[in-house]
A and B are shown apart, each in its own frame.
Chain A
Amino acid sequence: MAKQQWEEDAKDRFLQFLSSSTSEKWAVLDEDVVVHPATNRNFDYRLGLASAGWLLNCSGS
């Protein structure tokens, strides 16, 4: 489901908060991550260190 603007904005600010409190760059690795396929129940965002995202992208390509 498409994210609403307030969700995108809040997520961006949270990433910034994480980055400044851990001194590491955080990024969105995935969104609407399904935890229960039968019902398609999901959580909003999977976050991780930006370097991990780069690794994921590399392994995916």
Chain B
Amino acid sequence: MALELFRLVKDEAELARERVWSEVVHALERELAERSVKGYLLTTPSYFNVPKVKREQFAKQLADRVQEVIAASPEADELNFDDFALKRIEGLERIACSSFGEGGAVNPAGIALAALEDKLPHKNDQLAVKDHDRIVLVVNWTAFLVDPGDVVEAATQIDFARFPNIDRMFFEFTPGDIRLVFDRSVFAAYDKKSSVPGDLEPLYVQSLGFRMARHEPKAFQLIRKITEERGAALWIPANSRIEVVRYGRELAQSGDWDNAAWIVRTFEDDPDPSDNLTDPVGNCNYHNQIAHGETVNFIVTVRGHLCWLLQLIVAANKRDLYQHTLDIVERYALGPNLYIRQQATIPLIEFAKRRFTDLMDSSLADRIRALTLRMVRENAEYPAVLEGVANVVARTPDLTSSEAEEVLSIFLRKPDREAPQLLAFLLIYYAVFRERDNRFGTFDATNLGGLLMEQVVQGKPAIRSPILWRIHGILAERPAEVKSLLSYVAAFSAGSYDRNAFFHFYKILADCISDYPDVLVPALKEALCRERDYVNSNGHEIIWSFDRQPWTVLRKLLDSGREEDFLDCIEIVLNYGSRIYNFPPEGLSMVLGQMASGRAKKLLEHARLLCAYFHWIARGRPLWHADVDWAWAEKQLPGT
């Protein structure tokens, strides 16, 4: 056996730095030991930039400094000086040194690959000997940064045909922990798509897994071949099976439906994640998280990933695969694992979108509808699943009025994350627009209208705000819908104050108040009163950006000739006190100054006082930007 060794270091320059550090630290420890300084851990910078000839002297000076610092505070447990730290360790009979790490992002497999690429050409030349088993032993000097898996991964990225003299490579992770990381027969087997001796299978499987993770077509072909020979894919670990399924999406996107369908058939019953919900090893963690009301918004597990491949199949309109795909989706959607139920909604959304197309017959379309309703009912306690189902319901416009009422009531119990946006859409659709949609028969929206009204006024902030936002969007696109939606906007201000919802409310009013003052002015006054009462009862709250939508609404009110209503509103607003940020002093004083009524003049005086007060409390704000009477303000508030 011919053996060549090399050390795996992060890089050669770092090795050199570590040598210098080690030399300085040993000299320092010796120096301090001679001076009988002990009992501390000294943490140093990670390297010293000291020329070789000066290192002894540097260590002596450093020892002086350490001694001096300790002598200055002999009782202290922790001492810091320059870039050093001393920590008292009871019973330590010397000064022990360590260094601060440098930190930063690392790529262990990349470090290994760089080292192998650098060293193997030379090692290959050194092992140019016949009739020997030619071995490279890589000794880890990266302090656990690089592990055996990283070296195997790196080795799979190297074309060992370039290094015919290397038969095997071992990696010593920690002293004595030696692992096989490359074997020529494994490399050859991959090259020729043949099998390997049984004892090399773990390395073979691991190498294949890394190649699959890089989505190498050859790795997939080999996995398919061996899986067909063995009848199942469980010979590769779950993370490799996930990679195969992820690769399936690439195949589907490139139109390779034979291989994509094979992946679906092979992995549809994969045990990852487990359906054994009492599994003590924690394979059902995501199920448990959802069961406990947590949000799980990442794609994990083999079957979890498979749902995204199924989505592509449906989205690509592969009718021949629909029946089988829906069978799987149904199984997942009604299965015990909540995480898989949640993921099943991904392809189900695509199915729901196509229910009214020629792509599917009525029996398939009915199954999708029934499954959607069943998912709502059976997941009423699981908001994270319902969020996915809400996306399906949003593509299900043919619910009956009682179904819609039932479904929306369930959703409204525990809205989660994105669900409010969808709920706002669904509530408005079923309460306002569904009746007009003749495609799906008659519809009685009475109760749904009541539900929408209830949510607009009394709903949670998370629901009210998106409803107002959506109404604003609809009105911006289709102003004629104002007649259907105005009553909800007008009723809104009867509810409590909420910053986001009020923002959208003012936006709607800015667009509509000129045309519908009789309905909206009372709502506006009520809203301003709510806002005033809210800020006055919450010491820390401030109304931001009053000079934008709210002020626009007030100006429009004035422009439409409703002077008294305008003054009513200003009177309310001035009672917000100092709680309005971005109050529009210029505009307000100008508008009030131009009005002839005694009430306007009185309000102007109030406004000036408020403005002056504002600038007084905010000092740093440039007063000359505001159209306030500076002389008057100075007179009123001589302290400024």
Chain A positions within 8 Å of B, measured between CB atoms, are 6-7, 9-11, 13-14, 16-18, 26, 33, 35-36, 41-48
Residue pair B4, A14 in contact (C-beta under 8 Å): no
Listed by A's residue number, 13 A-B pairs whose Cβ atoms lie within 8 Å are A7-B5, A11-B137, A14-B170, A14-B172, A14-B178, A16-B176, A17-B176, A33-B129, A35-B129, A43-B2, A43-B4, A43-B129, A48-B1
A42 CB contacts on chain B under 8 angstroms: 126
Query: How far apart are A20's CB and chain B's nearest CB, in angstroms?
Result: 10
Is B128 in the interface zone, CB < 8 Å from A? Answer: yes
Is A45 in contact with B3, judged by CB distance below 8 angstroms? yes
Q: A16-B176, A17-B176, A17-B178 are in contact. Are A10 and B126 (CB under 8 A)?
A: no
A14 touches B126 (CB 8 A): no
Task: Report the minimum CB–CB distance from B427 to chain A (whole Å).
Answer: 69
Residues of A within 8 A of B7 (CB): 6
Closest to B134 in A: A43
Q: Are B5 and A46 in contact (CB under 8 A)?
A: no
Beta-carbon contacts under 8 Å, B102-137 to A: 125-129, 132, 134, 137
A40 to chain B, nearest CB (A): 11
The 4 tightest CB contacts between A and B, nearest first, are A47-B1, A45-B3, A17-B178, A43-B126
Cα(A10)–Cα(B136), bound, Å: 12
A residues in contact with B175, CB < 8 Å: 9, 13
- Chain B residues closer than 8 Å to A41, beta-carbon distance: 125-126, 128
Chain B positions within 8 Å of A13 at CB level: 172, 175-176, 178
* Bound-state Cα–Cα, A23 to B2, Å: 19
A48 to B215, CA, bound (A): 41
- Whether B1 pairs with A35 at a CB distance below 8 angstroms is no
Chain A residues within an 8 Å CB radius of B129 = 33, 35, 43
Over the window 127-166 of chain B, the binary record of Cβ atoms lying under 8 Å from chain A Cβ atoms (1 yes, 0 no) is 1110010100101000000000000000000000000000
Contact between B126 and A46, CB atoms less than 8 A apart: no
- A43-B2, A43-B4, A46-B2 known; A10 vs B128 contact (CB < 8 Å): no
Chain A residues contacting B139 (CB-CB under 8 Å) are 6, 10
Name the interface residues of B14-64: CB closer than 8 Å to any CB of A. none
Minimum CB–CB distance for A26 against chain B, Å: 8
Q: A57 vs B127: C-alpha distance in the bound complex, in angstroms?
A: 24
Q: Are B126 and A35 in contact (CB under 8 A)?
A: yes
Q: How many Å lie between the Cα of A43 and that of B2 in the bound state?
A: 7
Whole-angstrom CA separation of A42 from B126 in the bound complex: 5
Which B residues lie within 8 Å of A6 (CB)?
A: 7, 139
- A10-B132 in contact (CB<8A): no
CB–CB B3/A44 < 8 A: yes
Question: A11's contact among B5, B125, B128, B132, by CB below 8 Å, is which?
Answer: B5
Nearest B residue to A49, CB-CB: B1
List the B side residues contacting A45 at CB < 8 Å.
Answer: 2-3, 5
Assuming the contacts A13-B175, A14-B137, A14-B178, asked whether A44 and B4 have C-beta atoms less than 8 A apart, the reply is: yes
A41 to B129, CA, bound (A): 11
Query: Which residues of B lie under 8 Å from residue A11 when comparing CB positions?
Result: 3, 5, 137
Known: A10-B5, A13-B172, A35-B129. 10 other contacts (CB 8 A): A11-B137, A13-B176, A17-B170, A17-B176, A33-B129, A35-B128, A43-B127, A44-B4, A44-B126, A45-B3
